[in-house]
Amino acid sequence: MKTILRPALVLFALLTVICCGLYPALVTGIGRAAFVDQVDGSLLLRDGKPVGSALIGQSFSSPQYFWGRPSATAPMPNNGLASGGANQGPTNPALIDAVKGRLDALKAADPDNALPVPVDLVTASASGLDPDISIAAAQFQIARVARERKLPADQVRVLVDQFSAGRLFGILGEPRVNVLKLNLALDQAAPATSKSTP
């Protein structure tokens, strides 16, 4: 029994030190050295205080801000503890009603906008936490945001272009805009006149 137990305990202790001590320390060290922002949660700061993460969407309802993708998480939008979609099919009446309501809100906020409404502004994602919208979704909102901020549309368009990201490695994903980063830059360019801030 002693000949079996001793090697098992030594191996257990050795693997515990490697897997629970050395490996996490190595990975943490590499992360701290090479990926500083990511290991801290990709936090975005305003006046030195965190206002959110670049990886998790936030809800903006003021017309002075770019709106992100709708979220189906409960009990509130963009709830990281309840990440998930509604799993409603395209013929589900609840989904159809939700999309109609979101279309009505977009039209009410910018009645003169004749551009086609991008699908990501009226449908929630599978995670419910998307921090990005498509370039088309950002461009759709430029006129409204510029009017509400009393900025030239070209200045807002420059911000959208500045915060646009292409496909990863040129092939993965779709071109996109991080909504929180864009709205923070917008606040620097022209502070919001209402109390609705990120």
Average pLDDT over residues 132-151: 95
- Rounded (10°) CA dihedral 182, 185, 190, 191: 90
Top-confidence residue, 55 or 197: 55
Q: DSSP letter at 82?
A: G
pLDDT at 196: 47
Q: What is the mean pLDDT of the chain?
A: 89
CA distance 97 to 103: 10
pTM for this prediction? 0.78
Residue 195 has pLDDT above 50, yes or no: no
Could you tell me the pLDDT band of residue 194, with boundaries at 50, 70 and 90? low
Residue 85 has pLDDT above 80, yes or no: no
Residue with tokens 């999309």: 99
Residue 115 has pLDDT above 90, yes or no: yes
Render 94-123 in DSSP notation, one character per residue.
Answer: HHHHHHHHHHHHHHHH-TT--SPPPGGGTS
CA distance 180 to 106: 19
Cis bond upstream, residue 116 (ω within 30):
no
User: From residue 21, how far is each of 12, 29, 186 by CA, in Å?
Assistant: 13, 12, 44
Q: What are the structural domain ranges in the chain?
A: 1-40, 41-189
**% of residues, the chain, pLDDT over 70:** 97
Dump pLDDT digits (tens) for 5-60.
Answer: 888 999 999 999 999 999 999 998 998 888 877 777 888 888 888 888 888 888 89
